[in-house]
Amino acid sequence: MRPHPNIAKSFTSAALSAVLAGTAVHAQEDQGSLDEWSEMRGEVVGAEELLGADVSNGLNPVGTVTDLVLSADGSRVEYVLYETPYPWSFYGAEDGFATFDNVTIEHGASLDVDLVLNDAEAAQAPEELELTSDQARQRLVSRLIGEPMHFSGETEREIETLLIDRDTGAVTHYVVETDPDTLFRTARRTVPADSVTVDEEGVISASMQLAELEDVQEYDSTLL
């Protein structure tokens, strides 16, 4: 027995409405995610963007960032180390460092990240850094990138980068690849820094299970 045409039409309309409603919900969710990342773009910067960034005094180039040194508790970037390659060294610029609160992060013409020293006294000579290599070893951001992060349940994943607050230097998140077998790096997630600890031996641990990151917004570096 064939259904009445009006009944069939009602079912079809209802199904179409459900699909359109679902599509609208997903569109809103996607837009919400884009808005969230866009807002974060103005607040944080990836550590990999800072490593190798140009340093200037606002008028002339000074050097390029070689590394970032975290505070003793690992909660924020304390120092920016830079070197002065030729030809900048030819004009009298020297290797040195600056405290993070004495630099401003800007985007250059090519959208690359630049660091600008806030004043002439912001640049400090290497011998002024009261930190030994042993003390700094566990605090170098370049060392943390590529290190394993240990999750509850004896699972570990490699740290890809750190997200750093542009104004304060605070480490807000660690980025990990949750699926090490993926070819296109499509399973990256952010781990809140307040759930991560680094012990005296340099072992990095997260106080959560890896599966908990499945509901976390995927990290997209093109939006940051």
Domain ranges (residues) in the chain: 1-41, 46-137, 141-223
Residue 175: how many other CB atoms lie within 10 Å: 23
At CB < 8 A and 24+ separation, what contacts does 85-89 make?
88/61, 88/62, 88/63
Helix (H) or strand (E) holding 133: helix 133-137
Torsion of the alpha carbons at 205, 206, 210 and 212, rounded to the nearest 10: 170
| Residue 96 burial (10 A CB sphere; 0-12, 13-18, 19+) | buried
Q: What is the pLDDT of residue 7?
A: 46
Please give the CATH topology (third level) of the domain spanning 46-137. SH3 type barrels. (2.30.30)
Q: What is the pLDDT of residue 110?
A: 59
Q: Mean pLDDT in runs of 10 for the chain (224 residues)? A: 51 50 48 51 86 89 93 93 72 80 82 87 89 86 94 90 95 91 78 90 90 83 62
CA-to-CA distance for 165 and 175, rounded, in angstroms?
Answer: 14
Same fold flag, 46-137 and 141-223 = no
CA-to-CA distance for 217 and 77, rounded, in angstroms?
Answer: 25
In the DSSP assignment, the letter for residue 124 is B
Residue that the structure tokens 């000579």 belong to: 125
Residue 88: how many other CB atoms lie within 10 Å: 19
Q: What is the pLDDT of residue 86?
A: 64
Q: What is the pLDDT of residue 36?
A: 55
Q: What is the pLDDT of residue 11?
A: 45
CATH code of the domain occupying 141-223: 3.90.50.10
CA-to-CA distance for 44 and 192, rounded, in angstroms?
Answer: 13
